[in-house]
Structure 1
Amino acid sequence: MASLLGRPARAARERMSSLVAAPAPGRVDDMLRALSRRWPVRELCAAPPGSGLRPVLGDYGPPLVGHVLHSSRFGTDFARERHDRIGPVSWIGAFGTRIVNVSGPEATQVVFINRDKAFSQEGWAFLIDRFFHRGLMLLDFDEHHTHRLIMQQAFTRDRLAGYVRQFGPTVRSAVPTWRVDGPVRLYWALKGLTLDVATKVFMALDRAPEADRINRAFVATVRAATALVRHPLPGTRWRAGVRGRRLLESYFAGGLAGRQAGHGDDLFTALCHASTPEGERFTGRDVVNHMIFLMMAAHDTSTIASTAAAYYLARYPEWQERAREESLALGEDVPDIAALDRLRTLDLVIRESLRLVAPVPSVMRKTVKATDVLGYYLPAGTLVAAQPSVNHFDPGCWTRPDAFDPERFADHRREDRNHRYAWVPFGGGAHKCIGMHFGVLEVKAILHEMLRCYRWSVAERYRVRWDHTSLPVPVDGLPVRLVPR
């Protein structure tokens, strides 16, 4: 317990000062200490006699709900406190079961590399299969490898260049319309824009009642994945998610024949025609499942990344001005992929923002056989949550890890190279995000247009607080003031 009251306690104060809105000094630290003391630490299960392995320690938390509410409130800080106190492998209770948390670069590497194929994607199925059934992230081993090879044909450099040409005009026309007569809840403005980009690039739909209906269905499915009530009772998020999934299946199934016969530049058409050199292709059912998953993955993560980057640019106006200078140097044309690649300052800012606010802070797995992580015994059937966002604050990899410092990614420093799994906002191993380059290009395009149109700021004492109920979302929508240039 002494370690909890020493270095981790000081670290908690530092990190919460930058990530939580207006807490009283030490208040959040006191909350985390109180949570840590309330439930006794015990073994998940005994290690096999003579194995030399250690049991995983942890606690369930409050009856029934476990640590779900604590994780939702404190997010990465909750995971960091447990890493500091219990170690890189510990367990918690959540959603009526036990989940092993794995954190730190070394432990994360074991799970992501998965040399003995002990970790399957069934961990994701536990949370989201009802809504994102057989999406690429939920497939395993040989089947995942085949589907990924096919899908890569939709994310080649030429395809990405085409997507940039499609969404560039959408972004340019939307950003100047934001209100300037009062604070803007920037998260919601960005979410609407990224949904428009996704429906335009993925489905060749312009803003219309049909697009609005599809977007609402996606929002419902994402929110349902972490619902506490996991049955379709009236008025619940789960039921809304079930209905959203049905609508999406009906929409994409209805559009299959036209896309299979067409030759458009949208992702839906690309998936219908993608194939490996050996001629392997997706079935119509595969295309529907992958489209539903990709639409979710694309717009949610891009919204979070662009929101976080815009927040830090608001708090650190010297970085905003530096990035604006590069954007203005591109001229008046809507930037193509080569022009976006030249925005080096935005590269640094986006990488640092992804470090501080990982859009997907936890990555789920399930053991299909008994295994170990750094000498801790995990029996078959164990749900595992790798916590790569904890790695983003490892003092062994990062200098002043709680500070906003984009220069840490510059060529003369490259702190992200201190360990292969020090910086993993896109996951790692065989399941590394297939759309990460698309996502970064989209975020850069949005920030570029914001820099051309506005200067923006937050209140002097304002600090964003993130809600981690599903993926990180600013609890107040991130109010910013936009001033036209």
Structure 2
Amino acid sequence: MKTSTDYPELPRKANRQIDHIPGDNGALPILGDTVEFLKDYHGLTNRKYKLYGPVFRNNALLQRNIALLGPEANEIVLKDSDKIFSSKKAWDPLLDKLFPNGLMLRDFEIHRFHRKVLQAAFKKESLQAYLETMNPRMHQGVIDFPKDIEFGFKDSIKSLLLNVAAQVFMGVEMGKEADKINKGFLHAMEASLAVVKLPIPGTTWYKGIKGRQALEQFIQKHITAKRATESSDFFSQFCHAKDEDGNELSDEAVRDHIIFLLFAAHDTTTSTLCSIIYAIAKNPEWQDILHSEYQQITSDDLQYDDLPKLEKTGLVMKEALRMYPPVPVIPRRTIKETEIMGYRIPANTGIGVSPLFTHYMEEWWTEPHKFDPERFSAERAEHKRHFYQWIPFGGGHHKCIGLNFAEMQVKLFLFHLLRNHTISVKPGYNMQFNVVPIVFPTDGLPIQINKRKA
């Protein structure tokens, strides 16, 4: 089995060869725009766009990169017809020690092989089985949420989704380890943007490495049992998967894929649901619209065949993902010289396309700062003006493999929550949130759930 991708030898000093690109080196010596990038990525990108246009160089996180903005750039980079842009080489500096060998950290043929293996987890029959598993858990999760008092939604939904993902993908109960594993994911994610990567106790990087170790230990102790017997959960299937030569994947490959799946299945969906809950709390008329939609479902559980009926829920999800895409910027690194939008881009140059920036471009969206789910309706279809203008799931070869699972999970949770309840935030409340590395409310998203009045 092929285990690595061969790249051409890349020049070490390529990043010094981009001075012909419009842009600057940032506000601070060495750090450049790192502080603004971490605190206000959207504002930084808008400011540079107004100064330099859709292609500019910048300096953040101790790296000089080129930003490529807009649907045209998104298509060139994400479609990658000529295999110029490496996902692995872009993500490695951020994730290699924290989420090694995840699907994003593989390219071309080896990526295609592992994606094909992972795809089995998201076939229709698998999704149907997941829905059966998740229905009672989501229902009970809503019951367990505090009622009639304010509480932090982010931590509550994150814990629920982690437990659901563990059951769905691993066939195990998280139990008392849930808090430890949640912290492991949190610390690993935070460490991805650590500027100083030294394992000094107390630092963000040290916590991230310890978080990764906790995740490895949790997965590793289940692998032997999963290899000994076969069951329907994906963890077991992956333990028994074979390549074209009949070889099973190594324990390390199984471990790394499961960790990445758990991360993707609960962190990005947590981000999405936080954005949705905030949006419909600020726009309560949409709670009534969704409630009416759920009244069409006669069963107490949501069936797989019911999912297409939840059209308005789909519109709400799309609009929340437009306004708050979980991953605001998608990095790549060139493995050979190319020309993009009239500029020569050397080999071994870091580049980034921005779902967040694209989703607010007035050239493509009507009143982009307004929460307006109907913009995705069949009648208006604003998102279809360009195939790469709405890209919360990325695109091309690396388009999110679990997007159908994510939509199913979101619809299921909202169905169980809004059939009998309403949600609210305090008057005048505006969610405080960080955009990078993943959109998350920094204030915990305080909400209140109340019984819906007849």
Global fold match (TM > 0.5): yes
Paired residue for 2:405? 438
Segments of structure 2 that go 5 or more residues without pairing to the other structure are 1-14
**Alignment partner for residue 212 of structure 1, among 152, 171, 179?**
179
Paired residue for 2:40? 74
Question: What is the CA–CA distance in structure 2 between the aligned matches of 1:130 and 1:46, rounded to whole Å?
Answer: 28
1:325-344 equivalence runs, <5 A: 325-344=292-311
Look up the SS of the partner of 1:59 in the other structure.
Answer: coil
Question: What is the CA–CA distance in structure 2 between the aligned matches of 1:44 and 1:343, rounded to whole Å?
Answer: 51
Offset of residue 203 of structure 1: 1.9
TM-score of the aligned structures, taking structure 2 as reference length: 0.91
Look up the SS of the partner of 1:91 in the other structure.
Answer: strand
CA distance 1:280–1:101, change in 2 (3 Å): farther
Offset of residue 432 of structure 1: 0.4
- 1:142 maps onto 2:130 in alignment: no
Offset of residue 278 of structure 1: 7.7
Question: What is the CA–CA distance in structure 1 between the aligned matches of 2:364 and 2:144, rounded to whole Å?
Answer: 42
**Alignment partner for residue 237 of structure 1, among 187, 201, 204?**
204
Offset of residue 430 of structure 1: 0.4
CA distance 1:391–1:330, change in 2 (3 Å): same
- 1:119 maps onto 2:85 in alignment: yes
Question: What is the CA–CA distance in structure 2 between the aligned matches of 1:289 and 1:208, rounded to whole Å?
Answer: 21
CA deviations 1:378-416 (Å, max 9, x no partner) are 212111121122111122221111111111111111111
Supply the AA of the counterpart residue of 2:101.
R
**Alignment partner for residue 83 of structure 1, among 40, 45, 49?**
49
Question: What is the CA–CA distance in structure 1 between the aligned matches of 2:150 and 2:265, rounded to whole Å?
Answer: 27
Paired residue for 1:104? 70
Offset of residue 272 of structure 1: 2.0
Question: What is the CA–CA distance in structure 2 between the aligned matches of 1:274 and 1:451, rounded to whole Å?
Answer: 40
CA deviations 1:327-353 (Å, max 9, x no partner) are 132134221222233211110000000
CA distance 1:427–1:344, change in 2 (3 Å): same
Question: What is the CA–CA distance in structure 2 between the aligned matches of 1:410 and 1:181, rounded to whole Å?
Answer: 34
Equivalent pair of 2:23/2:48 in contact (CA under 8 Å): no
Question: What is the CA–CA distance in structure 1 between the aligned matches of 2:247 and 2:321, rounded to whole Å?
Answer: 35
Paired residue for 1:447? 414
Question: What is the CA–CA distance in structure 1 between the aligned matches of 2:177 and 2:283, rounded to whole Å?
Answer: 39
Does 363-372 or 346-355 show the bigger shift? Answer: 363-372
- 1:253 maps onto 2:220 in alignment: yes
CA distance 1:104–1:168, change in 2 (3 Å): same
Paired residue for 1:373? 340
Equivalent pair of 2:328/2:436 in contact (CA under 8 Å): no
Supply the AA of the counterpart residue of 1:109.
E
CA deviations 1:3-30 (Å, max 9, x no partner) are xxxxxxxxxxxxxxxxxxxxxxxxxxxx
Equivalent pair of 1:150/1:280 in contact (CA under 8 Å): no
Offset of residue 469 of structure 1: 4.2
Paired residue for 2:362? 395
CA distance 1:81–1:365, change in 2 (3 Å): same
Does 351-360 or 272-281 show the bigger shift? Answer: 272-281
RMSD: 2.0
Offset of residue 114 of structure 1: 1.4
Number of residue equivalences: 437
Look up the SS of the partner of 2:295 in the other structure.
Answer: helix
Equivalent pair of 2:95/2:192 in contact (CA under 8 Å): yes
Paired residue for 2:4? none
Question: What is the CA–CA distance in structure 1 between the aligned matches of 2:372 and 2:85, rounded to whole Å?
Answer: 34
Question: What is the CA–CA distance in structure 2 between the aligned matches of 1:469 and 1:229, rounded to whole Å?
Answer: 17
CA distance 1:366–1:147, change in 2 (3 Å): same
Look up the SS of the partner of 1:163 in the other structure.
Answer: helix
Equivalent pair of 1:217/1:245 in contact (CA under 8 Å): yes
Look up the SS of the partner of 1:249 in the other structure.
Answer: helix
Paired residue for 2:5? none
Supply the AA of the counterpart residue of 2:280.
L
Supply the AA of the counterpart residue of 1:452.
R
Segments of structure 1 that go 5 or more residues without pairing to the other structure are 1-42, 48-53
Offset of residue 279 of structure 1: 5.5
Equivalent pair of 2:135/2:301 in contact (CA under 8 Å): yes
CA deviations 1:44-65 (Å, max 9, x no partner) are 6468xxxxxx634233331233
Look up the SS of the partner of 1:58 in the other structure.
Answer: coil
- 1:459 maps onto 2:426 in alignment: yes
CA distance 1:46–1:480, change in 2 (3 Å): closer
Percent identity over the alignment is: 34
Supply the AA of the counterpart residue of 1:405.
D
Equivalent pair of 1:392/1:423 in contact (CA under 8 Å): yes
**Alignment partner for residue 59 of structure 2, among 75, 81, 93?**
93
Look up the SS of the partner of 2:193 in the other structure.
Answer: coil
